[in-house]
Structure 1
Amino acid sequence: MSAASIKPIKLYRSIVSGHAHRAELFLSLLGLPYEAVDIDLRAGQQKSEEFLRLNPFGQVPVIDDAGTIVSDSNAILVYLALKYGGDTWLPRDPVGASNVQRWLSVAAGEIAFGPGLARIGKQFGRPVNMEAAASLAHRLFNLMELHLQERAYLASGHPTIADIAAYSYIARAPEGDVSLDAYPALRAWLQRIEALPRFLPMIELVKPAASANAA
């Protein structure tokens, strides 16, 4: 199915959410037409009755693909990869698929509660144990540094949704006062993602902003 023949996918997002960014980044990389619908998290729009019909958890992102509703950023990546990405972004073989799933779990765990949580605490004024979040981030980055010294991408010899799931909050780790200076292989991996055709950067925050809900 060509991108030109696809009805635009609705993406319910917040531009400050790394979870929403990973969904939007993947839509862009796939060359899929989409319509961004901005949700005002500060005003609590994600908790409105209308939005909760899309996602009862009250979190962005959500996509509406011609009536098929998918919420949760990692679930969206899997859906888009299986429907539109061929065999490249999510391998079908057991070993390849399990390698990707391992990093999707890291994205929902260590990345979310390390660099992601540190960014939330610094930029959005949420009550966060910044020392614990930074410690988790650096422990993860040390592991990833070793991993990426031997390979170009996280789960395969080419980009997969594992890389897309991991990118956004790691790229913006300095916004949570988590430096990337000590991790040259990790920074080189970020640059490889940024060099992909149709790459879409995540907004850079320059000052503390409003609190946000993301998934």
Structure 2
Amino acid sequence: MYTVIGTGKSRTFRVLWLLEELGQPYQHVPANPRSDGVVEFNPAGKVPVLIDDGTPITDSTAILTYLADRHGGFTYPAGTLDRARQDSLTQFLLDEFDAALWLAARHSFVLPEEMRLSAIKNTLRWEFEHSQKTLIHRIGEGPYLMGAQPTVPDFILAHCLSWALAARFPIAEQRLSDYLDRMRERPAWQRAAER
């Protein structure tokens, strides 16, 4: 059984959601970043942490990729063109969506108050909106980013869009709003959200 460390109001949600989708048993330890229960496994104090057979794995994307590869779900096989496209979308979302939201969070409540620059959030909102337009041109017509089935980047995008709403970053593309509504209706999303 896996152990997932981290609060569900963080990137930990991505891992909980994927485990629910995969139908894998896990124990959830809702610990805050930089708390003792986190730092013992990740000196940076960041969540999530996945413990598998006594070995900690950090970074939500690394965990998602590991679980998807290990259980053969929500991913394409390594070394295929579909996997290259999947990985490209993953990197794009991390660079353009996740990074903007994380930088805004850092300047809202993570950094010491004297280090925060509130004006940067206007630039980040603009970049976030521009990135949505770029993403729309990169995805196909299916219900998910890669077509008929969700893959690792779907877990990242849906989480980022939900995070954006909480951070008051507008979702400017109606197609992405509709996408998020579909993702939130998935039973596994709802089970993860209940935690």
Unaligned runs of 5+ in 1: 1-6, 204-215
| Bigger relative CO (Cα 8 Å, ≥ 6 apart) | 1
Report the counterpart of residue 180 of structure 2 in structure 1: 190
CA distance in 1, matches of 2:51, 2:110: 31
Q: Is residue 75 of structure 1 aligned with residue 65 of structure 2?
A: no
CA RMSD of aligned residues (A): 2.4
1:57 is aligned with what amino acid?
A
Report the counterpart of residue 137 of structure 1 in structure 2: 128
- The partner residue of 1:155 within 134, 146, 166 is 146
2:163 is aligned with what amino acid?
R
Q: Deviations over 1:179-202 (max 9, x none)?
A: 12x311111211222233322365
CA distance in 1, matches of 2:25, 2:150: 21
Q: Deviations over 1:73-127 (max 9, x none)?
A: 001001111112x2x41101511111111122123211122234335545x3642
Q: Is residue 106 of structure 1 aligned with residue 106 of structure 2?
A: no
CA distance in 1, matches of 2:18, 2:54: 19
Q: Deviations over 1:52-86 (max 9, x none)?
A: 342233211001123232111001001111112x2
Q: Does structure 2 conserve the Cα–Cα contact (< 8 Å) formed by 1:52 and 1:58?
A: yes
Paired residue secondary structure (1:36): strand
CA distance in 2, matches of 1:161, 1:68: 22
**Greater helix share, structure number:** 2
- The partner residue of 1:10 within 3, 9, 14 is 3
Q: Does structure 2 conserve the Cα–Cα contact (< 8 Å) formed by 1:144 and 1:186?
A: no
Q: Does structure 2 conserve the Cα–Cα contact (< 8 Å) formed by 1:55 and 1:71?
A: yes
Q: Is residue 176 of structure 1 aligned with residue 167 of structure 2?
A: yes
1:80 is aligned with what amino acid?
L
Change (3 A) 1:119 1:75: same
CA distance in 2, matches of 1:116, 1:145: 22
Paired residue secondary structure (2:189): coil
- The partner residue of 1:55 within 42, 50, 59 is 42
Structure 1, 167-176 or 193-202: larger mean CA deviation = 193-202
Q: Is residue 97 of structure 1 aligned with residue 83 of structure 2?
A: yes
TM-score (norm 1): 0.76
Q: Does structure 2 conserve the Cα–Cα contact (< 8 Å) formed by 1:23 and 1:77?
A: yes
CA distance in 2, matches of 1:53, 1:153: 37
CA distance in 2, matches of 1:157, 1:60: 30
Could you list the structure 1 runs, at least 4 aligned residues long, displaced by more than 6 angstroms after superposition.
none
How far residue 166 of structure 1 moved from its aligned partner, in angstroms, is 1.7
Counting matched residue pairs gives 186
CA distance in 2, matches of 1:198, 1:136: 30
